[in-house]
């Protein structure tokens, strides 16, 4: 829920307390996704649903099925495209030294806010307009390449869309949790520090999600040139998920992290494969 969203019944933007932003994607996995699954089953009458996600959208169902294993029986297929779980190999090497340094500094900072909103109008960010120019358009594409996989072709139109609408407002806890996974190399709950962990988990060390409890049939798509969720980290998933139905490793063409959502030919690369798997 965004602070900018109006109550459709009154047309008024409700006042939200800091409590509304005390969540990460862990809570999305524990509360929101199970509610969505139950709603779809209730409305359609089907006993199972197909659940899919890209990147962080793949992280959430992994947490759901590990923490609430009773939902495995409600999932017919689990389609994961470049799913972020253990991220110990992401953003490694000289090009990413400053990014990882900045992330460490961010995690050490004691912020006084819980909600991140960098723009007054998050659906019409000025940088997106600059990306439409030839000079800034080049830098916009290159910055996306650094984030998602070096030297892989991206077209300017979806890049403009990203810089026009991203980043969206979110909780500080969501960003911190994601960065924690990246630096720790473990797939864990949110790390509150030794004292906070004792209060939440009765252990100084934050517990890992037990992905061996995920018994739903998993279909995993990943690519060789993905710098955010590289093959080394995907292999950990493949070695530990107990029910791998099928995998698609994209290594013959330039295809990286954002290609799953932004490449003009992504529907030709992954579409037929997904349709085939869902039909079998």
* Whole-number pLDDT of residue 74: 99
Q: For the whole model, what pTM was predicted?
A: 0.86
Neighbours of 72 (CB within 10 A): 18
Query: Where does the pLDDT of residue 15 fall: very low under 50, low under 70, confident under 90, or very high at 90 and above?
Result: low
Query: How confident is the prediction for the chain on average, in pLDDT?
Result: 88
181 Cα distance to chain centroid: 11
**Nearest Cα residue to 60 out of 29, 106, 98:** 29
Give tens-digit pLDDT for 239-249: 999 999 999 99
* Whole-number pLDDT of residue 242: 97
How far apart CA 84 and CA 159 sit, in angstroms, is 21
* Whole-number pLDDT of residue 205: 96
Burial class (CB in 10 A: 0-12, 13-18, 19+), 242: exposed
Give tens-digit pLDDT for 211-254: 999 999 999 999 998 888 999 999 999 999 999 999 999 999 98
Give tens-digit pLDDT for 141-168: 878 777 666 556 667 888 888 888 777 7
CA dihedral 95, 99, 101, 107 (to 10 degrees): -160
b/e map 80-97, b = 16+ CB within 10 Å: bbbbbbbbbbbbeeeebe
As assigned by CATH, the class of the 18-117+170-279 domain is: alpha beta
So where are the chain's domains?
18-117+170-279, 118-168
Give tens-digit pLDDT for 64-82: 999 999 999 999 999 999 9
């Amino acid at each position: 829920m965004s602070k900018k969203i109006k109550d459709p019944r009154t047309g008024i933007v409700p006042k939200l307390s800091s409590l509304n932003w005390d969540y990460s994607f862990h809570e999305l996995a524990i509360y929101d996704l199970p509610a969505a699954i139950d709603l779809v089953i209730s409305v359609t009458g089907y006993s199972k649903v197909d659940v899919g996600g890209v990147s962080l959208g793949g992280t959430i169902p992994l947490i759901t099925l590990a923490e609430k294993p009773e939902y495995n029986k409600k999932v017919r297929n689990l389609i994961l495209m470049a799913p972020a779980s253990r991220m110990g190999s992401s953003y490694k090497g000289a090009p990413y030294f400053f990014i990882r340094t900045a992330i460490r500094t961010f995690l050490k900072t004691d912020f006084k806010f819980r909600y991140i909103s960098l723009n007054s109008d998050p659906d019409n960010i000025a940088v997106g307009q600059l990306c439409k120019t030839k000079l800034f358009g080049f830098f916009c594409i290159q910055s996306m390449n650094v984030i998602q996989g070096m030297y892989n072709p991206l077209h300017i139109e979806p890049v403009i869309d990203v810089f026009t609408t991203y980043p969206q407002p979110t909780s500080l806890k969501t960003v911190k949790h994601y960065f924690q996974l990246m630096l720790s190399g473990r797939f864990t709950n949110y790390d509150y520090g030794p004292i906070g962990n004792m209060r939440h988990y009765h252990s100084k060390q934050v517990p890992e999600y037990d992905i061996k409890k995920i018994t739903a049939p998993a279909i995993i798509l990943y690519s060789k040139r993905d710098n955010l969720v590289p093959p080394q980290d995907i292999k950990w998933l493949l070695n530990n998920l107990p029910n791998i139905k099928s995998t698609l490793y994209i290594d013959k063409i330039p295809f990286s992290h954002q290609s799953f959502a932004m490449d003009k030919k992504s529907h030709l690369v992954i579409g037929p494969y997904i349709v085939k798997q869902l039909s079998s």
